[in-house]
Each structure stands twice: as C-alpha cells, then as structure tokens.
Structure 1
Amino acid sequence: MEKRNEGRVILFPLPLQGCINPMLQLAKIFFTKGFSITIIHTRFNAPKSSDHSLFTFLQIPDGLSETETQSRDVLLQLTLLNNNCENPFRECLAKLIKPSSGSGTEERIISCLIDDSGWVFTQSVAESFNLPRFVLCAYKFSFFLGHLLVPQLRCEGFLPVLESEAEELVPVFPPLRKKDLSRIMGTNAQSEPLDAYLHKILEATKPASGIIVLSCEELDQESLAESHKVFTFPIFPIGPFHIHDVPASSSSLFEPDQSCVPWLDKKETSSVIYVSLGSIASLSESDFLEIACGLGNTNQSFLWVVRPGSVRGRDWIESLPSGFMESLESKGKIVRWAPQLDVLAHRATGGFLTHNGWNSTLESICEGVPMICLPFVWDQMLNARCISEVWRIGIHLEGRIEKREIERAVTRLMVESEGDEIRGRIKVLRDEVRRSVKHGGSSSRSLDELVDRILSC
C-alpha cells in the first residue's frame, strides 16, 4: 500500500454490470496509489457498498420508474439516465467540493472526476467546478474508436447489407465483417437516437483530460497508435484492471452460487466447458433448448449460468425436457450466477462459451481459457472477431444456435487437435497480457503516467 496523499478521486459508473465491475476495480487501483475514493452512483443497480468498506458511496436519484428499470432497451435506459441525473449529480458534486460547515464531510482536495464514457453531461458539470475529468473506456479501444463512426457508416449506406457482401470486412472498422454491422447499428427505428447519443459521447469526450482504457498495448496497439487522429489528449491503457495487485472483492449485482468451485474440484483438469452469456443477453426458449441439447449431447462436463429471466417468457429453466438434469447425472451443473473469476481460474475449466463482453473476454484471456464465441450485441461482435480471427484463441459460432453446432464447437475446442493449438496460442497471449501490469510492463508504465498527470492537474 502506498502512502496516503491528500487527493480524493470521484468515480461515477454507469449502472450496468459490465460498467460497474471495471469502475470499482479502477477505484481499488487508485486506492493502492494513495488516493481516497468516493463513488457516486444511481439508485438503479446500486453497487453493494458493504463489499467496499474503504470507499465512500453516495447515492443520487435517477428518476427511473420500475418499468424502466426492467426494460431490455439499454439505449432507452441510458438516454433516460442522462436526462434525469444531471441535476442530482451536480448537487452531489457541489456538496463534495464545497462542504457546508458542520456537515461532517472529510475535506480533501478533489483531484479529478472519472466517469464512464456513456455519461454525456459530466464534462460540462466538471468544467463548471474547474475539475479535471477523465473518461473510462470500458471497451476494447478499437471498438471505442470504431463505434464513434457508426453515424458516418450509416450515412455511407452500409445498411442494408447485401447477402453477397456479408462476409466482406468493414474497411474503417476492422476486423468486423459487414454482416456484423446490423447487430451494432440497430434497426431503422433505433438509428436516430443511437446516432445522436454517439455524437454526444464524442463531443463530451474531446474536451476531457484523458481516456483511461480497460485494455493494454498488447491487445490494442494499432488503435492506440491511431488515437491521435481523433483525440489530442493522452490515452492511458492500464488494463486489465482485475489483475493489478489490488485487494480482491466482489462487485457483482447478482449473488454467485458458491457451490460451483467444490463441484469443479471433483472434475479432471481442463475437462469442463463453462457457459455464461452475461448480465443482459436474453434467449428465446427454442435457442435455450438448442444449447441445452447441444451441451447434453457432448461427452464434456459443463457448468452453465442461466440468469433468472434470461429465457424469454420463463422464470428460469422450467422449459428443460423432463428428466434432462437427471440424465446428466454429475456431468452438468446449472446455476443462476457464478463466481466467474474463480471458475475461469480453476484448473478444471477448459473452455468458455461466452457472449464476448469485454470483461469476460479479458478474464478468459488472463486465465488462458479458450473461447467459443456467441456474441449478441454491440462490442461483443468485434470482440468475437478478434478472438476467432486476429488472436485465433477461440471458435466463432457465427450466430448459429443449433444443437449440432454447439456440440461440434465444444468437441473441436475440448477434444480435437484444433483445440490444443488454440490453447497454446491463448497461453502465449495470457503471459503477454499478464506481464503488462507487472513493474516495467506497458500497463504499469501507463498507470504511473496517469497518476502523475492527475497529481499535476
């Protein structure tokens, strides 16, 4: 632990699981560098403050109704949150910067504000308090640069994609193929609000003091080299955050089933395929059953996370055929949520069927676990392409949720020689990425530069 200094860092995560995780990991990194930490958060998806006793948590109202919190329309939620939270955030920040006498608030110099790139009002608020603002990019940086081009791509007529062009690469957004674009750019009904939101992100990011990236040079070298074409300030790739030397703690919005690890303890090394499609994706009942049958038809043990409500129209797994679980005996285990870092680090885990969110992708790389890619939306499409075509550390299902495809992909990864080759490549990449956060590594150097910049602001 480094010596405490007089600086306080204010962090403001977007209230989505994939955004809360890296922000709280970043908070722990800054705490070890001597900063005091205050987390401002919304009522919606509030982080569990009891898991982080060394930080100060301040909740602001977000104005979301119960119906809006249950919506599957993430863009709608983000739009409403940005509309509703500006005044409460400004008031909360004002109290921190100019505490009233007798308020009991510990007076420390506020060094900077760090918030997620998805907050589009925070730059103007920070400027009104003369407070440096750093933007957290919780994506692979190449996606962050590329997704700002979505309005331009739409204007250039990339949609609709002709079937004959579906497999072609998108020149300005590598390694995406044209068929991936429709799943990133959304429907015609979504085009106007999405393009407007992305424009606001760009305009709110350009005046910031810097971007903190949940990646490292080893995973994003080309896009980091290109960043000067868009931004004039420094970029700080200091990821992966979770493998920095910081105290472990949970930031999950769901309660993990701790029986996963004892179950894995009974399995042979690299014999289990872990299946988890993240905190947002949902499946039709027919797709859910195809995955179930595909997993059941393999000779591999599997640990499958099925989030309650993630099968549309069902509470949990009640649509499984009668006797399905009994027929598996001890081969398969289904849980509502898993302690993912522990699962991926377990010697028994030999593969990961994933939605390819960036957090999950980084966690899998850092443990050397090869992937089967089943992306659904947004940056998952690009992450899956990098995994299957750039780094070649996984197999892409290409959206084919069919029992024979699932069974075949699991067999290729877990049994055949192709899987051995993939496993060898991901172990090399794992070692490179893990070295980046060690003393003298690329992420470690970048973190030192970031701390120096914050202290000099």
Structure 2
Amino acid sequence: MVAAALRRNIPHAIMISLPYQGHVNPFVSLALKLASRGIAVTFVHLDHIHRRLSESRGRGAAADSDIFAEARRSSPELDIRYTTISDGLPLEYNRDENALEYFTHLIEDFPKVADKFVGKLIAGDMADSGSRLIHFLVADTVWSWPAAIARKYNLINVSFWTEPALIFSLCYHWDIMRQNGHVAKEDNETEVEITYLPGIKTISSRDLMSYMNENEGILAKTLTVIFDDIKKTDFILHNTVQELESQTLSALSKHQPNYAIGPINFSKNLPTTAVSKSFWSESELCNNWLDSKSRGSVLYVSFGSVVQIPKQELHEIAHGLLLSGVDFLWVVRAGISSDGGDVLPEGYEEKIRDSDRGLVVPWCDQIKVLESPAVGGFLTHCGWNSTVESMWCGVPMICRPVTFDQPTNKKLVVDDWGVGVDLYDGGGSKVDRKGVAEKIRRFMNSDKVRKAASHVKETVRNAMAIEGSSERNFERFVGDLNAKIQSSC
C-alpha cells in the first residue's frame, strides 16, 4: 500500500521527533494528521525509544513491531511507514541517568547519523522509482541539524515547535534581549519587566525559561544557533491555539509562515490511541479508584516524564496532601528524585491506602485521568503536554514549574489565562507542608479558577472543531505546502 502510494509521487515527508515523551506524543499525532490529508510519511524513532515503547506494552526489548500497524488496519488510507535508527550509542546506555551528557551527544554527534540516514533513504527511493520521491522534512525545532540537511538534499524544511508560541518568540528574539542585558545577567535576582518584544505585551525576567540565563549551558548555546537557522525555515507549525496566543503568532507571521495547529493530540477522527506512545506501563488501578470518588473531589498530581524534585520537597508535598483533607491520585515515576531511595515518607502508601484518601501509581494514562469527572484539579510541573491536556479537559492547575520551559508555561497558565495558581506564593520554592495544604484547600474550592478553566476548555475545543482555527490553519498549511512542492518540481 505504501509503496504504491510512493510510486504515485504524492507528497512524502520524513519525520523525526526529539526522543522525549513530551515531543513524541505530538509528533505521532502530526504524522497521522498529515497522512489523513493524503501525504505519505516515513516516521523515524530512535532504536532505544522503540524499545521503551515495546517494553511499556509488554512486548519485550527485542520486539520489532510497527507502531503504526494497528492504526493502518483501522484506517487503511493512511500512508505511514515506520523505521528506527540508532542514536549512535549502545541500547544499554542509561540515557535518563546521563541526561545532560546524552543531550550533548544528540546535539553534537547525532547530526552525522541523521545526515547519513536521510541520504540513504532518498537514494533508495530514487533507485526504486527513478525520481526523487521525498519532498519535505518535518523535524523537531530543537534539533540542531534539520536546516543543514534540508539544504543538502533540497528538501522543504518544516519545523514543528511542540511548546507555546510565547517560548518560540522569546527564543526567536533572544539576540534582542541579550543586547538589552536581559538574559544571561550577572544579577539574576533582580526582576526586570521586558516590554519591547514584538507580539509580547510584557514579561518579567523571572518568567523566562531557565536556560536563558545560562551562558555556557548546552541548551542555551544550541538554541541560539538553531533560531538563526529557523529564520530561514520554510514553514513553522506550533502546537498551540491561535485564540490563546494571537498577538504573538501574528507578530511571528510577519517574518515567515507560522501556523497554530494545536493541540494536535486532540485532532478528530484519527486513530491516535492505536499508536504506542507511552514510555512507561500505565497503571490499571486509576479508573476504578476514581469512579468511587465524588465529582471534582480529587487532585491529580504528576510532575511529568523528565524533571526531578528534591526528596525533601516531595516529603513536604506528601504531608501537605494529607493535611489538606483532599483525595488525590499521585504519579510517582521511577527517577522522580535524584536523591535516590524511597522518595515518599516511610509507610506513606500504606497509610493513604488504608484511609482510601489517596492512590500512588508509577504511571497512568493522563488523558483518561483528567477526563474523569472526579478530578477537580491538577498539581503539575507545567510541561506543555500536561498543560494543554489539562486545558482540553477543563481542569484547573496548581503550578510547580521546575526548569526549561515550565516557568514560562506557568506564566501563561496563571497570569495570562487564569486557569491556575502558584503552589508557592510568589513563584518561589519554599517547602512548607502547612502552606501546601492550605493552597490545595483554597484551590479546590475556587470557583474563579474553575470558571476560567471552563472558558479556556471551550476555546481550545472550538479551535479543534471542523471549522475551528487550528483546523483551518492546518488546511492552509497543507495547501501552501502542496503549492511549494509543485513549484519546486
């Protein structure tokens, strides 16, 4: 089926996601959506990500299954072929425990692997059909190599930004903030209001991404180079909603084509649940437990798939949850704290289990949890996937951002959209169980934040409706892409 489609020389994309949970999820949904519009897709995972996906489904480390096979069975019109490549390191290498070293490897060494792979794929298709069949590359904006590879192989370069447009714009205008001395400052304790960036009314320096004040950090160095290349990218897709970030997106679109197509994970009529995406096995305990709880009574707690929190703070949050008197479901994944050992107080899980006040699981299907009528709030690290999933379900948030984009996401959630509150007053990180308990109690009884969450839910869902802004933007992108493909043939 796929080979026949490729022989017809229909538009054909190579897609390669950054190998992190928050990037894989929207990339899979984008692949399905492109394929639903008659575009052939070659979707590429790194070998170790494929192994994690297989293990999370109980298929074993050696499984060689195609993660899109079930989706194609349910929707035979989808032209998606799936392959994997090595990232250049042994499968046994612990990428989680060596996160900084691994990310540095991805930035400095993986581009050679990607170049070789794309070249081989293009050469193979040309030999098979006698003409160039691959037309464009869809790569994660945070990759360091797409611009060079797109130029080398004469591919249209489509960059997919999986975070809010605000963060994209801040990175886009990084050089202006540096000239004004508002990033990589010597005095990071002094707050500065930044009011001169196009499409951004005002933002405090305290709400900037953590890496913007790291002179020598690998992410800061990489992103400054990447965003020089981004300014020459053919198309930029954003996993956000036009109505929520209209000024920022309008300012960016004055320079090059930008399309808000999110939240892409909630695209209609796509077999997204048929594709393996979770890096961890999902607990089966959550739904029955939630069904036993009254409407809006449960606080869901999860700090995502990557960040780590000190054990002392986890203990204070644990005690704060008990003191609050609120029922809670808490995802405590392996590696949530770098301190090691048991991250919860001794006897904690037995205590909450005996009282039926709480449930602790290692991982869960977050969408199913947030969709439960019992869930009335979400204590979150403010990763973008978690944020848009919470908004989609109309669940207000208590925000405890840790690093990367999370402080800026929190700014949007709390200050711009009003759908959340800070866990710690003033956005600090004071660890106090009584303060945590009081914040949880006030939050769970707040009509104001609940009404705001309901309003944003309506905005987000309208955007993904048939005539919604995200759907119209996606169709506009496909039309513009096809026109560019035709003009380059």
Task: Give the number of aligned pairs.
Answer: 442
CA deviation string 1:347-381 (max 9, x = no partner): 11110000001111000001000000000112111
Corresponding residue of 1:169: 193
Q: CA deviation at 1:14?
A: 0.6
Cα RMSD between the aligned structures?
Answer: 2.6
Shift of 1:119: 1.2
Of 233, 241, 246, 2:264 maps to 241
Using the alignment, how far apart are the partners of 1:207 and 1:327 within structure 2?
54
Who is 2:434 aligned against? 404
Q: Does 1:275 align with 2:301?
A: yes
Taking a change above 3 Å as real, the CA distance of residues 150 and 401 of structure 1, as seen in their structure-2 partners, is: farther
Shift of 1:401: 3.6
TM-aligned CA distance change 1:102 to 1:202, over 3 Å: closer
- Of the structure 1 ranges 339-348 and 34-43, higher mean CA displacement relative to structure 2 is found in 34-43
Question: Alpha carbons of 1:428 and 1:182: their partners in 2 closer, same or farther (altered >3 Å)?
Answer: closer
Structure 1 residues 113 and 394: alpha-carbon distance in aligned structure 2, compared to 1, 3 A threshold: same
Query: What is residue 473 of structure 2 aligned with on the other side?
Result: 446
Alignment partner for residue 340 of structure 1, among 366, 373, 389?
366
Residue 96 of structure 1: CA displacement? 2.5
Of 20, 43, 47, 1:16 maps to 20
Structure 1 stretch displaced more, 249-258 or 352-361? 249-258
Q: Which amino acid aligns with 2:319?
A: C
Aligned residue runs from structure 1 range 228-307, under 5 A: 228=253, 232-245=255-268, 246-249=270-273, 250-307=276-333
Question: Compared with structure 1, are the counterparts of its residues 386 and 100 closer, same or farther at alpha carbon in structure 2 (3 Å cutoff)?
Answer: closer
Q: Which moved more, 1:215-224 or 1:365-374?
A: 215-224
Verify the 8 A CA contact 2:68 2:82 in the aligned structure 1. no
Per-residue Cα deviation, 1:126-151 (whole angstroms, up to 9, x for no partner): 22221111000011011111034445
Q: Which amino acid aligns with 2:402?
A: F
Q: Distance in 1 between matches of 2:130 and 2:319?
A: 57
CA contact (8 A) 2:396 2:450 kept: yes
Displacement after TM superposition at 1:414 (Å): 1.0
Tell me what 1:38 maps to. Answer: 42
> 1:184–1:381: 8 Å Cα contact kept in structure 2?
no
Matched, 1:420 2:447: yes
Identity %: 28
Give 1:292-441 correspondences, 5 Å limit.
Answer: 292-317=318-343, 319-322=344-347, 325-327=350-352, 329-397=355-423, 398=427, 399-415=429-445, 419-441=446-468
Which runs of 5 or more structure 2 residues have no equivalent in the other structure?
55-64, 73-79
What residue is the counterpart of 2:141 in the other structure? 117
Q: For residue 299 of structure 2, what is the amino acid of its counterpart?
A: I
* Structure-2 separation of matches of 1:435 and 1:107: 42
Q: Distance in 2 between matches of 1:301 and 1:225?
A: 43
CA 1:175–1:358 in 2, change beyond 3 Å: closer, same or farther?
farther
Alpha carbons of 1:236 and 1:242: their partners in 2 closer, same or farther (altered >3 Å)?
same
CA distance in 2, matches of 1:332, 1:108: 57
CA distance in 1, matches of 2:44, 2:364: 27
Q: How far apart are the structure 1 equivalents of 2:409 and 2:341? A: 30
User: Is the CA contact 2:210–2:405 (under 8 Å) kept in the aligned structure 1?
Assistant: no
Q: Distance in 2 between matches of 1:414 and 1:214?
A: 29
Query: Is the alpha carbon distance of 1:187 and 1:110 closer, same or farther for their aligned partners in structure 2, counting shifts above 3 Å?
Result: closer
Find 1:157's aligned residue among 181, 184, 205. Answer: 181
Classify the secondary structure of the residue corresponding to 1:69.
coil
For 1:169 and 1:405, how far apart are their aligned partners in 2?
A: 28
448 and 180 in structure 1: CA distance in 2 versus 1, 3 angstrom threshold: closer
Deviation at 1:95, TM superposition (A): 3.0
Is the 1:273–1:302 contact (alpha carbons within 8 Å) kept by the matching residues of 2?
A: yes
Instruction: Call closer, same or farther: CA 1:175–1:376 in 2, change over 3 Å.
Output: farther
SS of 1:233's partner is coil
Corresponding residue of 2:57: none
Structure 1: segments with no counterpart, 5+ residues: none
Cα 1:19–1:72 shift into 2, 3 Å: same
Match of 2:231 in 1: 206
User: Hey, what's the Cα distance between the residues in 2 that align with 1:146 and 1:101?
Assistant: 40
Specify the SS of the correspondent of 2:307.
coil
**Cα distance, 1:199 vs structure 2:** 2.1
- Once the two structures are TM-superposed, the CA of residue 253 in structure 1 deviates from its matched residue by 1.1
| TM value normalised by structure 1 | 0.89
The letter for the 2-side match of 1:96 is: L
Following the alignment from structure 2 to structure 1, what is the Cα–Cα distance between the partners of residues 88 and 381?
30
Residues 176 and 321 of structure 1: CA distance in aligned 2, closer, same or farther (over 3 Å): farther
SS at 1:40 equivalent: strand
Letter in 2 for 1:185: M
Contact map agreement 1:120 1:204 (CA 8 A) in 2: no
1:67 is displaced (CA, Å) by 5.5
